[in-house]
């Protein structure tokens, strides 16, 4: 075997360097380069592929049967169920519910007559048993294997042929024929490739649970996310009752789709109506600085309550703090309010929060955020039966947003009576429901209408 050579690989993005550097040249993170030994393989003889090319017109496009996970929100998230041989990577903060969701999913499949294999590399079988007893997830078709050798796991899978396999986590897997310890870039990449290749060959859905780094990205080389078919990521604070699972990548369904769960003593419970969970309770007196927006998450419209608070700053430089919304977007809206509307915010601290732990990044939230800040500054509440849907430009003009029909349907379903939107020629076709559409051209016009001049 050729002698190994030494390289330095980034634990964040997988970039390699022949010498150690303090800052990764690819991702820019500091102190992430670790030394690894890489075997120099000899030149192999080229052989013809066993799968000859064929015309694209002769390839069958018939849809394959999907395997239901038994969790409706998860099925919708991955595109209607698990495709044969589908490899899925699940990431998120420690304690947010990754292992809980995997155990609940395998139990429901096992209860439906499917044999499932749960490979644990971090916890002992007894620890898995204790969690299963607490969640009520015990079935003889659910098999637990404590193993960190990827080749040993592959050998067992080829023999038992389970309907689904979960590996918790991929950072604990290793291959003895490769240098480095478990969790290094080479080990993570090659172990994942081994398990994914096995999954494709026997058409077995595979779930890989992944750790995250201090920056919030999934640990290991970035190529790991390219190797799998689907990447699911838990969002939100683990101290919050609601858990948001987002599809960051999906070759078998829509991307940027979300599923909402609530963490209870019985595990993760699906939230049938997420919009109601993120809105104030019915009959509750809403104070100033509160606005409701209609965000679009994949194919789903979601109503979210935006809260803003302005206070006189005791210091020379005012504070700007945001949670759940884009900081740069809020800074731009504050500048528009100051320049185009005449609201002086240079001596006020501004705090903006999206209720429920959800992350709102789209421009359709602009109007709601700006009105929440204006409402708090003037200490006048906004209409409680209205939803605000529009993008705000640098000139203070309102711009139309996509998927307006789905947003309005969701708002009407939850009892909202009015919608403040941008002028658009397509609004005439939307005047079919009971909602009143109030189109405006500029942000200043909306503020004058709802808060007075």
Q: What is the pLDDT of residues 71-92, one digit of tens each?
A: 999 999 999 999 999 999 999 8
Predicted confidence (pLDDT) per residue in 307-337, tens digit: 999 999 888 889 999 999 999 999 999 999 9
Angle at 397 between CA 395 and CA 401, to 5 degrees: 125
Mean pLDDT over residues 386-409, rounded? Answer: 93
- For residue 245, say if its preceding peptide bond is cis, omega within 30 degrees of 0: no
Better-predicted residue by pLDDT, 127 or 427: 127
Q: What is the pLDDT of residue 444?
A: 96
- Nearest-CA neighbor of 81 among 100, 60, 109? 109
The structure tokens listed for 158 are 């080829």
How many angstroms separate the Cα of 265 from the Cα of each of 83, 108, 450? 31, 18, 43
The structure tokens listed for 226 are 């390219």
Question: What is the CATH topology of the domain spanning 277-451?
Answer: Ribosomal Protein S5; domain 2 (3.30.230)
Predicted confidence (pLDDT) per residue in 5-60, tens digit: 678 888 777 778 888 888 888 888 888 888 776 655 555 556 666 678 889 888 87
Q: What is the pLDDT of residue 19?
A: 85
Note whether 218 and 184 are within 8 A (CB). no
How many angstroms separate the Cα of 326 from the Cα of each of 135, 259, 331, 366? 36, 21, 9, 10
Across all residues in the chain, what is the average pLDDT?
88
- Order across the sheet with 142-146: list the strands: 142-146, 116-120, 164-168, 206-210, 87-91, 230-235, 242-250, 258-264, 267-270
Note whether 401 and 391 are within 8 A (CB). yes
Highest mean pLDDT among 282-291, 293-302, 370-379, 410-419: 370-379
Better-predicted residue by pLDDT, 218 or 398: 398
Note whether 422 and 399 are within 8 A (CB). yes
Q: What is the pLDDT of residue 217?
A: 75
Better-predicted residue by pLDDT, 332 or 359: 332
Backbone angles phi, psi at 410, to 5 degrees: -65, -40
Q: What is the pLDDT of residue 281?
A: 66
The structure tokens listed for 87 are 């490899």
Does the domain formed by 71-272 have CATH 3.40.50.300?
yes
- Nearest-CA neighbor of 114 among 85, 140, 148? 140
């Amino acid at each position: 075997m050729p002698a190994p050579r030494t390289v330095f690989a980034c634990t964040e993005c997988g970039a390699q360097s022949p010498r150690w550097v303090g800052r990764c040249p690819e991702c820019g993170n500091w102190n992430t380069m670790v030394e690894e030994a890489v075997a120099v393989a000899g030149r192999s003889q080229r052989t013809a592929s066993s799968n000859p090319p064929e015309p694209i017109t002769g390839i069958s496009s018939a849809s394959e049967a999907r395997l239901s996970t038994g969790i409706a929100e998860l099925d919708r998230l991955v595109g209607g169920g698990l495709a044969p041989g589908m490899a899925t990577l699940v990431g998120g903060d420690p304690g947010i519910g990754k292992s809980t969701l995997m155990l609940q999913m395998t139990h429901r499949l096992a209860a439906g007559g499917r044999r499932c294999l749960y490979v644990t590399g971090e916890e002992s079988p007894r620890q898995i048993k204790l969690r299963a007893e607490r969640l009520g997830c015990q079935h003889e078709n659910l098999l637990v294997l404590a193993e960190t050798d990827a080749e040993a796991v592959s050998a067992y899978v080829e023999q038992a042929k389970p309907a689904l396999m979960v590996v918790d986590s991929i950072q604990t897997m290793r291959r003895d024929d490769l240098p480095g310890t478990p969790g290094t870039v080479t080990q993570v990449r090659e172990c994942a490739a081994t398990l994914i290749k096995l999954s494709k060959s026997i058409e077995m859905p595979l779930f890989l649970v992944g750790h995250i780094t201090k920056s919030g990205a999934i640990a290991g080389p970035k190529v790991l996310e390219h190797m799998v078919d689907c990447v699911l990521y838990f969002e939100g604070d683990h101290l919050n009752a609601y858990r948001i699972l987002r599809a960051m990548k999906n070759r078998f369904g829509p991307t940027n789709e979300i599923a909402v769960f609530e963490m209870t003593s019985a595990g993760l419970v699906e939230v049938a109506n997420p919009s109601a969970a993120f809105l104030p309770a019915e009959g509750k007196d809403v104070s100033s600085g509160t606005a409701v927006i209609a965000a679009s998450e994949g194919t789903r419209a979601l109503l979210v309550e935006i809260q803003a608070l302005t206070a006189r700053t005791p210091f020379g430089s005012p504070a700007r703090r945001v949670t759940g919304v884009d900081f740069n977007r809020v800074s731009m809206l504050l500048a528009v309010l100051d320049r185009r509307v005449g609201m002086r915010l240079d001596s006020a601290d501004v705090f903006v929060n999206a209720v429920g732990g959800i992350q709102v990044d789209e421009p359709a939230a602009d109007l709601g955020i700006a009105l929440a800040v204006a409402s708090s500054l003037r200490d006048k509440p906004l209409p409680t039966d209205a939803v605000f849907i529009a993008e705000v430009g640098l000139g203070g003009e309102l711009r139309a947003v996509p998927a307006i029909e789905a947003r309005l349907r969701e708002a009407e379903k939850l009892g909202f009576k009015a919608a403040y939107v941008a002028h658009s020629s397509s609004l005439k076709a939307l005047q079919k429901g009971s909602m009143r559409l109030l189109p405006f051209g500029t942000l200043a016009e909306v503020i004058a209408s709802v808060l007075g001049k």
